[in-house]
A and B are shown apart, each in its own frame.
Chain A
Amino acid sequence: MDNAEERLTTHLALARELVGHLENGDEENARLVIQQLRFPYERELFEELGKLTRELHEALKSFRGDSRLVEITQDEIPDAKERLNYVVTMTEQATHRTLNAVDEGLPIAESLHRRAAALTENWARFRRRELSLDEFRDFAHDLDAFFDATGQETERLRSLMSEIMMAQDFQDLTGQIIGRVLRLVHDLEESLVGLIRLSSGRMAPSEPPGEVATPAVSRDEHERGPTGPAVPNTHDALADVVSGQDDVDALLSSLGF
């Protein structure tokens, strides 16, 4: 006889007993039978409640234990904000550097253009033999001055162009810094997804809460490889970084370079 059949027989016997008591008006005994009938279901309910409580306890424990999320919140988000601020500063500086060069270069180009146009006009008059001797003397003088200035001013323009080009290095440097913040956002996303799964563990029983909340890669693991430009007022300040090319040269020469 299996359990279900046994339970059925017991229930049937109790039900008959209950009907008997009720027909006899024996309320006291009827109540006892009803309690007996209810008992196995109540036990199941308590067991289920116990299981829920345990799971809740475990979930809270692993939430508190997800040190990665704590690390991200307390430590790395302020750090990332500092990095993004630095990116804003760097892009602002690069833009000013570019615009300053343009501000200086445009008038030079305009002046060269204007003077060349004036000389061209006089040159045409000279070819048509329309210039007087005095006018020709002035023209020759202007030409000399123009040739002198052209050499210097085109060289200045070249160096301003070069300045504009070098200012564009911000894209590489800020790109690396933003890339690092993006990795943090990714870690944060993973931790939060883990947390959401943890809290809805009962709705997705196929994935037990303990296993879902695998912490993302820790910061130490990220720091082992290359980290991009050192950003002031962040964890980078703790690392032993050089302050510029002179420092690099000094270090290398101490190594025999």
Chain B
Amino acid sequence: MKILIVDDFSTMRRIIKNLLRDLGFNNTMEADDGSTALPMLKGGGFDFLITDWNMPNMEGIELLRQVRADPDIKTLPVLMVTAEAKREQIVEAAQAGVNGYIVKPFTAETLKEKIDKIFERIAG
């Protein structure tokens, strides 16, 4: 299971990386915004994407749309972890095809719960 973590704050990337390691996901990579993440994802090999929304160059919502528009990676599960808390934004992300949405600040339990739920749905 290879996971890409996308956030413009390196501190948040480290926190998520640590939490994922606690959950048993040791194979993670990092990108600091959508425009660096997209070529990595297109390069293949990723099974899961965790992305922030508010980032320079390419925002998380745009990254999500680009992923869904690419036939090779459009089924990639995407979990958004963001401080964006407007209802219209959550609806927007849902319409763009997000698999899960976590608002910051979040807990380790929430991250585990959402990842589990996404995998359950994919399996079921």
Contact = CB atoms under 8 A, between A and B. Distances in A.
Interface of A: 162, 165-166, 168-169, 171-173, 175-176, 225-230, 239-242, 244-245, 248, 251-252, 255, 257
Contacts of A173: 83, 104-105
Contacts of A175: 9
A248 B102 contact: yes
A251 B87 contact: yes
B69 interface: no
A176 B83 contact: yes
B83 A242 contact: no
A228 B103 contact: no
Contacts of A166: 15, 105, 107-108
Interface string B93-124: 01000000111111110100000000000000
B103 A245 contact: yes
Interface residues of B, number: 32
A166 B59 CA distance: 24
A226 B92 CA distance: 12
Given A173-B105, A230-B85, A168 B54 contact: no
Nearest to B87: A240
Contacts of A171: 9, 11-12
B97 to A, nearest CB: 11
Given A168-B15, A242-B85, 14 more contacts: A166-B108, A169-B11, A169-B104, A172-B11, A173-B105, A225-B59, A226-B59, A226-B84, A226-B89, A230-B86, A240-B88, A241-B86, A242-B103, A244-B103
7 contacts: A171-B12, A172-B83, A226-B59, A229-B85, A241-B86, A251-B91, A252-B101
Nearest to B105: A169
A41 to B, nearest CB: 60
A240 to B, nearest CB: 5
A255 B11 contact: no
Contacts of B59: 225-226
Which are the 6 A-B pairs with shortest beta-carbon distances?
A226-B54, A172-B9, A172-B12, A229-B83, A171-B11, A241-B85
Contacts of B9: 171-172, 175
B108 A162 contact: yes
Q: Which of A165, A240, A248 has the most chain B CB atoms closer than 10 A to its own CB?
A: A248
Given A162-B108, A168-B11, A252 B85 contact: no
Given A169-B105, A172-B12, A248-B102, A242 B7 contact: no
A255 B91 contact: yes
B33 to A, nearest CB: 12
A241 B104 contact: no
Contact of A165 (B18, B54, B85, B104): B18
Contact of B90 (A165, A169, A226, A248): A248
A37 B94 CA distance: 83
